[in-house]
Chains A and B, each alone.
Chain A
Amino acid sequence: MLGLAADRLRADMNRLLAFLFHQGILDEQFLQLQQLQDESSPNFVSEVVNIYFHESEKLLRSLRSLLMDREFSDYNKMGIHLNQFMGSSSSIGANRIRNVCVAFRAASEQNNRAGCLRALELLEHEYCFLKNKLHELFQIEQQRVLAAGVRYPMQNI
Chain B
Amino acid sequence: MARDGGVTWRRTEKIDRFNLSATDTAEEVHVLAVDDSLVDRKVIERLLRISSCKVTAVDSGIRALQFLGLDEEKNSNGFNDLKVDLIITDYCMPGMTGYELLKKVKESSVFREIPVVIMSSENVLARIDRCLEEGAEDFIVKPVKLSDVKRIKDYTTREFRVGEEERTRKGTNKRKQRDSFDLSSSSPPSILSSSPVLSSSSSPESQSPSPSPPSIPSASSAPSSPSPIDSPTRRVKTTSSE
Contact = CB atoms under 8 A, between A and B. Distances in A.
Interface of A: 21-24, 27-29, 31-33, 35-36, 38, 41, 44, 47-48, 51-52, 55, 80, 83-84, 86-88, 90-93, 95-96, 99, 102
Given A23-B219, A95-B218, A35 B146 contact: yes
Interface residues of B, number: 25
A151 B90 CA distance: 47
B47 interface: yes
A92 B46 contact: no
Given A41-B46, A83-B121, A95-B217, A31 B39 contact: no
B172 interface: no
Given A22-B219, A32-B146, A88 B46 contact: no
B143 interface: yes
11 contacts: A23-B219, A27-B220, A28-B223, A32-B145, A32-B223, A55-B37, A87-B92, A88-B40, A90-B121, A91-B39, A92-B39
A39 to B, nearest CB: 12
A87 B40 contact: yes
Contacts of A32: 143, 145-146, 223
A51 B145 contact: no
Given A83-B121, A87-B40, A91-B37, A21 B146 contact: no
| Chain A at the B interface: SS class | helix
B7 interface: no
Contact of B222 (A22, A28, A48, A86): A28
Contacts, number: 80
A48 B146 contact: no
A96 B217 CA distance: 9
A28 B121 contact: no
Report which residue of B38, B220, B221 has the largest number of chain A beta carbons within 10 angstroms of its beta carbon. B220
Nearest to B230: A28
